[in-house]
Structure 1
């Protein structure tokens, strides 16, 4: 990422870089169970990868301070990691005596699910029920925290505890809408009318980045606009067959191509990263950005010269999104009870409210308790999606290494590949995995 104005903690990619993690793992069949060394009950070893100035970094710092206050005899050994360090090396570390007691980790079948299946993560089901975490976290947000014996999400055992939510929504430059007399969209028809009006005024309306997750999010969001609950469950949870040339995905690639041909995206965006996309919006070159709430905090700081707002994407009742990355307790953690105590603090009213006030989406705080007006709008939108089964996860989750496929397919589409060829490209690894799935 090459834009220093956007904080690192707000640049994390929800799309999984699973191939790197998988390459570092070896089959483990006897690493779980009761072979964990006993701890002294006086030390908590904790890892996370959030930047200290981001919403979550501030929340975790406050949680550590609260833990120290309530556990005065316990020493906290905190190690700051990067997202990539944990993503790429977790399997090897968790299978060694270097495992921390609690760490932040990426959700999904290829990460948390894989390590849970291999016995490297502690089953937190009893703790979730005992401490009431399962009541604080809604069903759709908890799907990515629960796994079955195959390591597939949506199971009945909790292997992670998320504290926040994430989803894709629309960012509007209100000043540019007013300047050009464009009405704020209320549905898909008015959304496309806004795109056309900006283009007629010589302005490329949509910010985009083809060399990062945003382009794939656009494509998946268009598919979701034609999808129902059954399609999402079939695609993400393997509950039924998926036809990549069916109405959902076919509509997505054709509408995406139409927008490219009309100039609603710039084809030169094919080589851009996510931070380049946000810069298009911050610099007022593009009036509309469809992107994750993880950009919200950085935009709140960086935008000082125009009015902006957020709203759910008006063309779909579903959106890419889920519960956020979560706390996991390694099987080889030495002080698991202390780890649970820390997680419990992160789920407390005080820490959850802090997450919201700092511009993220808490899972256990009511929107009405948040005084930050923009953040309150964000939380309200997320809760509406969650309450209506509108969180449809992310497009690369079903298959390990699928992120690269989606990245390549959307870039090929932007470079002029035929829609049918792009659909075939997306279908191949998915169908291969389904054929070999036991």
Structure 2
């Protein structure tokens, strides 16, 4: 791997990052030391950007109450936007104004950069002390551990996630019943369903080519043919990716077929993610391939029909990851208090709040999930974790690769580029963007 000035690169990259690209096991009571009022007179400075009404916002607000009661310390919570934290982290974390604990985006270009420049702490000792690693599946740990060069999947813990996310398939069950169709359980059945809807004059897939969903579908089609070795090569730079090989070629060819066969609208290149999601909500499209982050909204708004969500049929690997990370800045004044707060957010009672409000807890007691639809979502996520199936996102390997994927796939579906040209364009940008990591 090439050695570069990671601090300079990190500061430049973090200043440019935006929110472009967007992921149950039983656990024991709180581990480690620290019960009691040994935080009297101290203050934990906390930053995060989850809305107060979100699953994580509700859970973490309760965690603040528990933390203050148990430790005697106060929490000074500063509400920050995603963009504020991303754009100011490189400046603030290098000063005494750094918070004690903050939420930060996982991945090489974000948490990895902070880790490689020494702006966030190695928390491996705290992970061992509190037993957090025992509560996290291997694919969830990948985004929390980094190498010295900031590549995820390393040996050193720089963050802890307490929720997850994944991409699956949403189905309008009423539309399926009206068409005399069953929810597919294999990829062949999935294709049969797409054909059946097209035969009835219905475009089955809600999709968007101007933003992320189409690129996620493309990557999922690659995962149908790929294995964990492919994911490690693509995401962790273990070996060179063959951009003209059978895995990627099959994905690109199949996506083009989806458009040619009418599974996807022919104007998909100009459609945005919001429009795709709304077309599922209003019943126009019976199928939507996208993330668990839509789940809570569909519960609230897709109320005119019954619907369900499953993992992508026939796939052992699914897009997804841990959620964002709790990270402890190196300049934090109260690191031990930060660790105690993290530990509270991993407790079953706090995890249950995430799970019962449409989120995906990573360490909840299944019996604590009382909402039936949420329990179904969590069971699906658990099934993916049990197979070590989380495979991250297609744009993660290189800064700016999200825009490249959007542009290249737009060229494919509009006929401006063929499969070989599309894959060559993707490969060129990928190789250039990851050269310093390989």
Give the match for residue 403 of structure 2. 404
Give the match for residue 51 of structure 2. 51
Paired with 1:194 and 1:284, the residues of 2 have a C-alpha distance of: 16
Mapped contact 2:235–2:397 kept (Cα < 8 A): yes
**Structural mapping, 1:253-402, within 5 Å:** 253-402=252-401
Give the match for residue 13 of structure 1. none
Paired with 1:23 and 1:46, the residues of 2 have a C-alpha distance of: 20
Give the match for residue 103 of structure 2. 104
Give the match for residue 192 of structure 1. 191
Q: CA deviation at 1:437?
A: 3.5
Give the match for residue 30 of structure 1. none
Give the match for residue 33 of structure 2. none
* Structure 1: runs of 5 or more not aligned: 1-17, 26-38
Deviates most, 110-119 or 61-70:
61-70
Work out whether 1:22 is the aligned partner of 2:21: no
Paired with 2:89 and 2:390, the residues of 1 have a C-alpha distance of: 27
Give the match for residue 64 of structure 1. 64
Mapped contact 1:24–1:89 kept (Cα < 8 A): yes
Paired with 1:84 and 1:229, the residues of 2 have a C-alpha distance of: 32
Paired with 1:19 and 1:259, the residues of 2 have a C-alpha distance of: 39
* Structure 2: runs of 5 or more not aligned: 1-8, 17-38
Superposed structure 1 runs of 4+ greater than 6 Å apart: 18-21
Question: Tell me, what secondary structure is at the counterpart of 1:362?
Answer: coil
Deviates most, 265-274 or 284-293:
265-274
Paired with 1:290 and 1:368, the residues of 2 have a C-alpha distance of: 29
When the two chains are superposed, the root-mean-square deviation of aligned CA atoms in Å is: 1.9
Give the match for residue 424 of structure 2. 424
Q: CA deviation at 1:300?
A: 0.8
Judged with a 3 Å threshold, the aligned counterparts in structure 2 of structure 1 residues 102 and 23 are, in CA distance, closer, same or farther, namely: closer
Mapped contact 1:168–1:290 kept (Cα < 8 A): yes
Give the match for residue 220 of structure 1. 219
Deviations 1:247-298 (A, max 9, x none): 1110111100000111111132322322222101000010001111111111
Q: CA deviation at 1:377?
A: 1.6
Mapped contact 1:24–1:92 kept (Cα < 8 A): no
Deviations 1:54-90 (A, max 9, x none): 1111111111121122233x22111111222222332
Question: Tell me, what secondary structure is at the counterpart of 1:304?
Answer: coil
TM-score w.r.t. the length of structure 1 is 0.89
Mapped contact 1:21–1:87 kept (Cα < 8 A): no
Give the match for residue 151 of structure 2. 152
Mapped contact 2:10–2:113 kept (Cα < 8 A): no
Paired with 2:210 and 2:167, the residues of 1 have a C-alpha distance of: 18
Mapped contact 1:19–1:400 kept (Cα < 8 A): no
Paired with 1:384 and 1:358, the residues of 2 have a C-alpha distance of: 20
